[in-house]
Structure 1
Amino acid sequence: MVQAANPARTVILTVDDDPTVSRAVARDLRRHYGESYRVVRAESGEAALDALRELKLRGDLVAVLVADYRMPRMNGIEFLEQALDVYPGARRVLLTAYADTNAAIDAINVVDLDHYLLKPWDPPEEKLYPVLDDLLQTWQATDYRRVAITKVVGHRWSARSSGVREFLARNEVPYRWYSSDEPEGRRLLSAAGQDGLRLPLVVTPDGTALVEPEDRDLAARVGLATTPAASCYDLVIIGGGPAGLGAAVYGASEGLRTVLVERTATGGQAGQSSRIENYLGFPDGVSGAQLTDRARRQAAKFGAEILTARAVTGLEAHGAARVVRFSDGSAVTAHSVILATGVSYRRLDAPGVAELTGCGVFYGSALTEAAACHGHDVYIVGGANSAGQAAIYLARGAKSVTILVRGPSVTKSMSHYLVQQIRDTPAISVRTNTVVEAAHGRHQLEKLTLRDMATGNAELVDAQWMFVFIGAAPLTDWLEGTVLRDSRGFILTGPDLTADGRPPAGWELDRPPYHLETNVPGVFVAGDARAESAKRVASAVGEGAMAVMLAHRYLEQS
């Protein structure tokens, strides 16, 4: 139970125009927080503002505001925006229906929204209380003052501006976006002594101005861990996707001194997914960002160290030690290593695409750009699950979504449930036997040349948005000469190393490699980087846990 600094005078305020929902929210809050906080409820935005003003006059503290989005006369965002003038330090939560998630995302920039919750929130022990606990702890830690936020000034069609926004969003760093064309954006540029020719400008919470920052510098400035706390670990995990996070949770929970090293942001490709509906335990689906956040917090709870924006460039075996080298020349040693580097989307090789990447052309979901697609025609290239999930998500606001597939159908490469959803969504169409032949635009994507592979006919179409999901390439080139890989770069393990009945060259142990073990003893692989892996979130998490079990077995025998 989170304890308030002044229990008798600290308030959690909830507002919902539906009396039944209003009473239910207040009931659940009082049940969990009633001994330490006073729960005040209102049934309209106006009534809630009146209550806040009375509380202000009495000198009461307000820790959290919970507002329903769909209220007549004054919706939840409008209420929270006015409430900021009264209690700027209160944490802000928006209650939304599934169809209103775009509005909730927009509210992050409008009112510095701390969290949005989908209704219903049952069971509150899983969906409501953990969120409120975190917000109350944050409120107390900031001495009840409004949290300073990172500010990003950039251009709508600047590739690096888009990259910075995506980096901050995927690492769950709160930020506010300002266009370089708007007054506040110009004021920030002027204050930093910049003319706007070099973008983006990032102003960190402590007031430091960073111009076109690299990910590692940005990570360090906004409070992400980038430097290992020790020089030696029981377990080093390379890669922070589902497999890496699964390994971090199990490794740390079983007492291994564990560090996870991620080059961009935890979650991997799965973390960019707008909705995963076939993951065990989430019958209503879960976004990749939500799943990643829970896994990251779970790993940290058990004591795993997580490093962000650190590129690993080498792996060496020196006796029983495994040395992991970073791009800056530093290194850590480990008793065991799990490679969970995952895969990256293959680049679309067509004229104009490279020049427009980040300026209308994006690889993966790029959820920070989704709101800007509202009312526009969107093209998605690819026919696997990631493409289908993105299409369903973008179709909520886009004028139309067209999936471009090289093959004759999507049924072989996409899960059945997604195929059915696409067929039932009028805004989505699928064009088979179609490839992108060229992308056109001076400063941003404007048109695409599409070719029908069956007829050979080419067509020029208007397009401002294209999201590409065209297969995966393993991120394993840095392992050349150390770890054995197949012809496509995927890492060989266990039975694949002993297919001819003999151990791999250089293997010195009197046992064959374990199932997920590479040709280097004590170095294991989990997830998509492994040859013949299933390429599914659930299997990656399972392999992460299994790799930890095998690492334990290796350590016990060493």
Structure 2
Amino acid sequence: MSQPTSGARPDRRPAIVLVSAEYSDRMMAEFCRYERDYELHAARSHAEASAVIGELVAAGVPIALFAADSRLPDAPILAAFADWRAAVPTSRRVIIAPVERFTGDAPGLRIGMATGKYDAYLLLPRGPRDEEFHHAITDLLSDWGSTVPDPEALTAKIIAPPNSLPALEIRDFFDRMGMPNRRYDPDSEVGHHVREQFPADVDYPLVWSMVRDPIAPRSVSDVARSIYGTPDAVSVPGVVDLAVIGAGPAGLAAAVYGASEGLSTVVLESGAIGGQAGTSSMIRNYLGFPRGISGMRLAQRARNQALRFGAQFFTGWPVLGLEAGAPHELITDGGRVRARSAVIAAGVRYRKLGVEPIEALVGSGVNYGAALTAARELEGRDVVVVGGGNSAGQAAVHLARFCRSVRLVVRRSGLEETMSSYLIGEISFTSRITVQTDARIVDGGGDPSLEWVCLEDQRTGERQTLPVAGLFLLLGAEPQTDWLPSSLARDDHGFVLTGRDVPQSAWDGGLPPPDLASTVPGIFAVGDIRAGSMKRVASASGEGASVVPLVHRWLADAPAVSTP
């Protein structure tokens, strides 16, 4: 039994299923505030709930949330969740325990949350206006809403034929920016309406946005610029205190702490806010978010926080060059930004697989990175994820919500060296995911999109051909630093050297630069682009915060700069 999404009934609201033998009425009364937007269905047992689920699935009604008592009369709650997850893998799952059982049941159940068997463990409210409880519920509903193929409230409409690579990249950008969107066929009613606003010779994709006039973009940068403007279209002071290149976790942290401490701060990002971390469907081990948080939501909250303190963001403008001096100048196609100090937080890109037939299908079933938009397009299909890091693990878990099967291919003999324990546990629990170690992709093909891949066992040389509709490649870090000045030292792989890793010939008076400082005074590096970084979201955020005191110290001692 699987849940249809694209074919959901337009005349039915999404459903919330409440399950408790003793507290069904109380749960229904507590959830009545959601009745305007969701159908509420109550059941008193695992069997009764399963029957309700079957009826909803048959009717094409999406199920957003299962909320169940910690004890059911006819099944252990985790076994019940496993059954319901198999029926509706996209739904969120929460255990609601009454006060007399909340503490006693917790030790045996909380381990299940760590392995992804459910999403939250909550206390049944004992009175009205338990907003802490409802904050958790609305968070889960919001997470569910961000993954449905057809959101109700749209920020953007993309008109393009199926399998359009530019359209897929634009949708992925909107998803990572937290902007609900939908693709429409050119022959649809919406497609015809938007098409009428363009000359006949303009090609697809076309983008209608509620915040700008319709455009016919040729790249994601065109979309970003149409929404967020250009450096020379926005008032930027002659010389800012701090320019941050890149808006992943490290750059966002530098922007928040720099702007909050009174530095005039500008952030330039070539793509979507959040960097690679922005594609993570759920980060469960980030400090302060016990129920986890998606990379997109973490990034957008950090961006809003930086904006509140006065930071300025320019999205869709890659920095093409950096001229070191007093001040430093950041060069983009849209203008120059002059800054007394600069923090390089541009992150890294995934390494290429290097298998020519696979490279030829990028955008047609083959994706570098998690490509969360593509996941929704592959509902009920078989896919392969290549990579052994946390990003690959998170992608596999997310894809398993939609795809019939997910094969995680790893070159190493196991996941323990490169992946967090909580993710390994969640993967082992997810029946749709198969882990294949000591293997690599050696071939693939399809017309017009990916139809098969060939795996090679690195121990035996044996090859296996699998029919697949999607391939997601998360192959490790490769910095893009050719735009940096030659005076800024990098290691043999192109990562920026800082602190004690800087060549001793560049030390001052026998002393190395501060930990995050580069060989160029006033230029710092944080996050994945820095040599020796940990390649984790939390460590990148920590470096972004830690670099601001170093910037302050530099600015205090730096010579004054002239302004035009």
Interval of TM-score (by shorter of Structure 1 and Structure 2) = 0.7 to 0.9
Equivalent in the alignment of 2:176? 170
Q: Residues 132-155 of structure 1: CA distance to partner in whole angstroms, max 9, x if unpaired?
A: 9xx9xxxxxxxxxx9884221112
| 1:190 CA drift (Å) | 5.3
- Flag the 1:544–1:17 CA change in 2: closer, same or farther, 3 A: closer
Q: Does 1:415 align with 2:420?
A: yes
Take 1:371 and 1:147, find their aligned partners in 2: how far apart are those partners? Answer: 17
Q: Tell whether the 8 Å contact from 1:316 to 1:482 is kept in structure 2 after alignment.
A: no
Q: Tell whether the 8 Å contact from 2:225 to 2:317 is kept in structure 1 after alignment.
A: no
Match of 2:38 among 41, 58, 67: 67
Paired letter, 2:452:
K
Paired letter, 2:375:
A
- Flag the 1:488–1:415 CA change in 2: closer, same or farther, 3 A: same
Q: Tell whether the 8 Å contact from 2:415 to 2:424 is kept in structure 1 after alignment.
A: yes
Take 2:192 and 2:499, find their aligned partners in 1: how far apart are those partners? Answer: 58
Equivalent in the alignment of 2:149? none
Take 1:541 and 1:402, find their aligned partners in 2: how far apart are those partners? Answer: 31
- Flag the 1:513–1:377 CA change in 2: closer, same or farther, 3 A: same
- Flag the 1:222–1:497 CA change in 2: closer, same or farther, 3 A: closer
| 1:265 CA drift (Å) | 0.9
Paired letter, 2:156:
T
- Flag the 1:372–1:79 CA change in 2: closer, same or farther, 3 A: closer
Paired letter, 2:535:
K
Q: Does 1:151 align with 2:137?
A: no
- Flag the 1:485–1:375 CA change in 2: closer, same or farther, 3 A: same
Take 1:376 and 1:260, find their aligned partners in 2: how far apart are those partners? Answer: 39
Q: Does 1:503 align with 2:506?
A: yes
Match of 1:322 among 318, 328, 331: 328
Instruction: Give the SS at the match of 2:465.
Output: strand
Q: Residues 505-528 of structure 1: CA distance to partner in whole angstroms, max 9, x if unpaired?
A: xx6x89641110001111111101
Match of 1:266 among 263, 273, 276: 273
Take 1:285 and 1:525, find their aligned partners in 2: how far apart are those partners? Answer: 28
Q: Residues 486-540 of structure 1: CA distance to partner in whole angstroms, max 9, x if unpaired?
A: 0000000111115x4x534xx6x89641110001111111101110111111110
Q: Tell whether the 8 Å contact from 1:102 to 1:371 is kept in structure 2 after alignment.
A: no
Q: Does 1:351 align with 2:356?
A: yes
Q: Residues 390-419 of structure 1: CA distance to partner in whole angstroms, max 9, x if unpaired?
A: 111211232111111122222222222222
| 1:457 CA drift (Å) | 2.4
Counting matched residue pairs gives 464
| 1:375 CA drift (Å) | 1.5
Instruction: Give the SS at the match of 1:459.
Output: strand
* 1:430-509 alignment, distance < 5 Å: 430-498=435-503, 500=504, 502-504=505-507
Equivalent in the alignment of 1:542? 542
Equivalent in the alignment of 2:113? none
| 1:80 CA drift (Å) | 12
- Flag the 1:69–1:205 CA change in 2: closer, same or farther, 3 A: farther
Match of 1:256 among 238, 252, 263: 263
Paired letter, 1:235:
L
Q: Does 1:384 align with 2:389?
A: yes
Equivalent in the alignment of 2:533? 533
Take 2:66 and 2:303, find their aligned partners in 1: how far apart are those partners? Answer: 24
Take 1:121 and 1:332, find their aligned partners in 2: how far apart are those partners? Answer: 49
Q: Residues 53-99 of structure 1: CA distance to partner in whole angstroms, max 9, x if unpaired?
A: xxxxxxxxxxxxx53676879989x9999xxxxxxxxxxxx777696
Q: Tell whether the 8 Å contact from 1:121 to 1:128 is kept in structure 2 after alignment.
A: no
Q: Tell whether the 8 Å contact from 1:350 to 1:437 is kept in structure 2 after alignment.
A: yes
Counting aligned pairs with the same residue, the percent is: 38
Q: Tell whether the 8 Å contact from 1:225 to 1:306 is kept in structure 2 after alignment.
A: no
Paired letter, 2:506:
P
Take 2:278 and 2:528, find their aligned partners in 1: how far apart are those partners? Answer: 14
Instruction: Give the SS at the match of 1:478.
Output: coil
* 1:89-100 alignment, distance < 5 Å: none
Instruction: Give the SS at the match of 1:311.
Output: coil
Q: Tell whether the 8 Å contact from 2:153 to 2:180 is kept in structure 1 after alignment.
A: no
Take 2:296 and 2:485, find their aligned partners in 1: how far apart are those partners? Answer: 32
Match of 2:297 among 287, 290, 300: 290
Instruction: Give the SS at the match of 1:318.
Output: coil
Equivalent in the alignment of 1:373? 378
| 1:461 CA drift (Å) | 1.7
Instruction: Give the SS at the match of 1:544.
Output: helix
Paired letter, 1:555:
L
Q: Tell whether the 8 Å contact from 1:68 to 1:75 is kept in structure 2 after alignment.
A: no
| 1:463 CA drift (Å) | 1.1
Take 1:239 and 1:206, find their aligned partners in 2: how far apart are those partners? Answer: 24
* 1:11-50 alignment, distance < 5 Å: 20-21=26-27, 23-24=29-30, 41=33, 48=36
Instruction: Give the SS at the match of 1:545.
Output: helix
Q: Residues 255-281 of structure 1: CA distance to partner in whole angstroms, max 9, x if unpaired?
A: 111111110011111110111122111
Q: Tell whether the 8 Å contact from 2:177 to 2:296 is kept in structure 1 after alignment.
A: no
Q: Tell whether the 8 Å contact from 2:253 to 2:302 is kept in structure 1 after alignment.
A: yes
Q: Residues 91-124 of structure 1: CA distance to partner in whole angstroms, max 9, x if unpaired?
A: xxx77769678469xxxxxxxxxxxxx8789984
Paired letter, 1:485:
R
Q: Does 1:301 align with 2:308?
A: yes
TM-score (norm 1): 0.75
Q: Tell whether the 8 Å contact from 1:360 to 1:466 is kept in structure 2 after alignment.
A: yes
Take 2:27 and 2:60, find their aligned partners in 1: how far apart are those partners? Answer: 17
- Flag the 1:249–1:199 CA change in 2: closer, same or farther, 3 A: same
Instruction: Give the SS at the match of 1:374.
Output: coil
- Flag the 1:336–1:450 CA change in 2: closer, same or farther, 3 A: same
- Flag the 1:302–1:21 CA change in 2: closer, same or farther, 3 A: farther
Equivalent in the alignment of 1:553? 553
Paired letter, 2:479:
P
Q: Tell whether the 8 Å contact from 2:382 to 2:403 is kept in structure 1 after alignment.
A: yes
Q: Tell whether the 8 Å contact from 1:68 to 1:96 is kept in structure 2 after alignment.
A: no
TM-score (norm 2): 0.74
Q: Tell whether the 8 Å contact from 2:166 to 2:218 is kept in structure 1 after alignment.
A: no
After TM superposition, the structure 1 stretch with the greater mean CA deviation from structure 2, 388-397 or 416-425, is 416-425
- Flag the 1:95–1:300 CA change in 2: closer, same or farther, 3 A: farther
Paired letter, 1:551:
V
Q: Tell whether the 8 Å contact from 1:241 to 1:266 is kept in structure 2 after alignment.
A: yes
Unaligned runs of 5+ in 1: 1-13, 27-40, 49-65, 82-93, 105-117, 136-145
Unaligned runs of 5+ in 2: 1-13, 19-24, 43-51, 68-80, 93-118, 124-129, 143-151, 559-564
Take 2:137 and 2:66, find their aligned partners in 1: how far apart are those partners? Answer: 17
| 1:220 CA drift (Å) | 3.3
Take 1:15 and 1:445, find their aligned partners in 2: how far apart are those partners? Answer: 35
| 1:130 CA drift (Å) | 13
Q: Tell whether the 8 Å contact from 2:279 to 2:372 is kept in structure 1 after alignment.
A: yes
Take 2:330 and 2:493, find their aligned partners in 1: how far apart are those partners? Answer: 23
After TM superposition, the structure 1 stretch with the greater mean CA deviation from structure 2, 207-216 or 478-487, is 207-216
